[in-house]
Structure 1
């Protein structure tokens, strides 16, 4: 391609000029694979939030380069931070005993990426160390970082929940090595987006879809000896759907078909009866921006209320589908 920058695009933030090694990394297979992974996991079957891990990655890289233009290692860490994600992102990671952070390390050390880093006189182990420790990308302690900032801005934009364009919000945001810092009004707006995003992707139906996706893969693996865990981790969403739609497991085929075309058959029981699969949220978010050098929750009652409202999203339910006689042992 005459203009590699055409591959490095997303619509929310100002354009950033990539260094040659960044352009090369964006063109390598582990990063390009992110274009074929839904950022919202299985929830993309129902939600209008359908952007990929690639757009999110470009966004986090842009934000990092915007705030830290001369920190080459941090920029590269932002670019590579998500390459270990599984198909449908978090949908299958815990249930199938994967760790995307470990996979990210492994992929960085493989020749396709490590050769590019060596050519730019960058140490792969330093990049891994940045990813394994708190930084502006993750945010230190309870401070919001650039990775989650992009998720909250991008997800709520796609869901129609934001009242300000993300590029406009950036004018009122600074970023220190500890994380995001902003004024009181913008901080409260960001907290509003955090709550809106969590209400969507932690809603019982969205969590249920992720659980049923994981169950369909388990059912498939029970019926075949041909699977390879490491190879599965490198697949795309579409490749997993293709595997499940042609699975030797009748139950796996029925589940993936239902998730794609008949999600109205999913039923949530708020009391566990044992007739379905238990579901619960993964974790409750507790981070906030800095304001005047302090965590926003120390200054704002509205911000403190958001954290209380986030806690209320916790649940322990079960998911049942209309095909439960066939699908649940």
Structure 2
């Protein structure tokens, strides 16, 4: 990759530092070019961009707001290296957690040696990733940070629902105590994107394919010598190859890729439905920006109410093949 790039979403020009160039040449970072940010929903939506694109977008945001914070820039670049194939799809299977995996990779070669050779402290990077203390990449307050900001806006563009130029939005955004803050109009745009993303996650487009591929991963682990740790390090193409090579998963793997329209999804428990399987979403993201430096509940209660309403979205489903 060239030592300079312009993020196509935010249109932020970035000059990569030597440590960032070196990291982008390592396998854990290169792997993200082959992991879909949208997970299994890439089978049924236009969410085709990768974890690497998102990571570079987050780096661009950090370079914009905190250009001289070297550890934070590194944290932005490596924050997703622990992601499993198809991103969040397999989170929780056999205890797999992308945050924990990412921290292990941060302290292992080749990432560890790259950081050490450039004088970057892995512990400082890890602290920024953990949000201890709160950083522009992570916090424990439930408020919007740069990682999720890029995710919401990038997803909105991919889905064709982004009505505001991201570069214009960026001019209206700042960081207040490491939290995204903006004006009332831009906050409304962000709330629309956050709401749409939550509804996507609870829709057929995500629930159907994700539930199938999670089941296939469990079957793959049961039927082959593949370990959970080995599963976690596959790329998306390697995962599909493994599923195609396994007799227990081959047929359904083809079905979910080529006939996803046959999937039926019903929200809630369906004890009367004998077909299929149950599926539960682990989490619905709804982190809110500050509005002119104030919490959204005080500055824009109507927007806060929209986010609060997301708590009523279904998180349990019954899925089956028709």
Show structure 1 runs of 4+ deviating over 3 A. Answer: none
User: Aligned with 1:278: secondary structure?
Assistant: strand
Is 1:263 the counterpart of 2:260? The answer is yes
In the TM superposition, what whole-angstrom CA distance separates every residue of 1:17-63 from its partner, at most 9, and x where no partner exists?
A: 11111111112110110010000000000111110000000011110
Instruction: Quote the residue 1:174 is aligned against.
Output: 174
CA RMSD of aligned residues (A): 1.7
Larger CA deviation: 308-317 vs 108-117: 308-317
Instruction: Quote the residue 2:183 is aligned against.
Output: 183
1:118 Cα offset (Å):
0.9
1:157 Cα offset (Å):
0.4
The 8 Å contact of residues 207 and 265 in structure 2, kept in 1 or not, is answered as: no
Instruction: Quote the residue 1:77 is aligned against.
Output: 75
Report the CA distance shift for 1:268/1:44 in structure 2 as closer, same or farther (over 3 A): same
1:4 Cα offset (Å):
4.2
1:140 Cα offset (Å):
4.9
Instruction: Quote the residue 2:245 is aligned against.
Output: 246
Alignment partners' CA distance in 1, 2:277 and 2:262: 14
Instruction: Quote the residue 1:321 is aligned against.
Output: 321
Alignment partners' CA distance in 1, 2:9 and 2:292: 26
Normalising by the residue count of structure 2, what TM-score does the alignment of the two structures yield? 0.93
Report the CA distance shift for 1:32/1:56 in structure 2 as closer, same or farther (over 3 A): same
Larger CA deviation: 173-182 vs 277-286: 277-286
1:155 Cα offset (Å):
0.1
1:124 Cα offset (Å):
1.1
Instruction: Quote the residue 2:236 is aligned against.
Output: 237
The 8 Å contact of residues 45 and 260 in structure 1, kept in 2 or not, is answered as: yes
The 8 Å contact of residues 176 and 293 in structure 2, kept in 1 or not, is answered as: no
Alignment partners' CA distance in 2, 1:124 and 1:291: 33
Question: Which residues in structure 2 correspond to 1:1-329 (within 5 Å)?
Answer: 3-5=2-4, 10-13=7-10, 14-133=12-131, 134-224=134-224, 226-249=225-248, 252-270=249-267, 271-273=269-271, 274-322=274-322
The number of aligned residues is 316
1:177 Cα offset (Å):
3.5
In the TM superposition, what whole-angstrom CA distance separates every residue of 1:222-251 from its partner, at most 9, and x where no partner exists?
A: 222x213222211100000001011131xx
Alignment partners' CA distance in 2, 1:320 and 1:314: 17
1:9 Cα offset (Å):
5.7
Larger CA deviation: 276-285 vs 181-190: 276-285
Give unmatched runs, 5+ long, in structure 1. 323-329
The 8 Å contact of residues 40 and 201 in structure 1, kept in 2 or not, is answered as: no
Normalising by the residue count of structure 1, what TM-score does the alignment of the two structures yield? 0.91
Alignment partners' CA distance in 2, 1:170 and 1:158: 18
The 8 Å contact of residues 136 and 176 in structure 1, kept in 2 or not, is answered as: no
Larger CA deviation: 120-129 vs 35-44: 120-129
Alignment partners' CA distance in 2, 1:290 and 1:37: 31
Larger CA deviation: 150-159 vs 22-31: 22-31
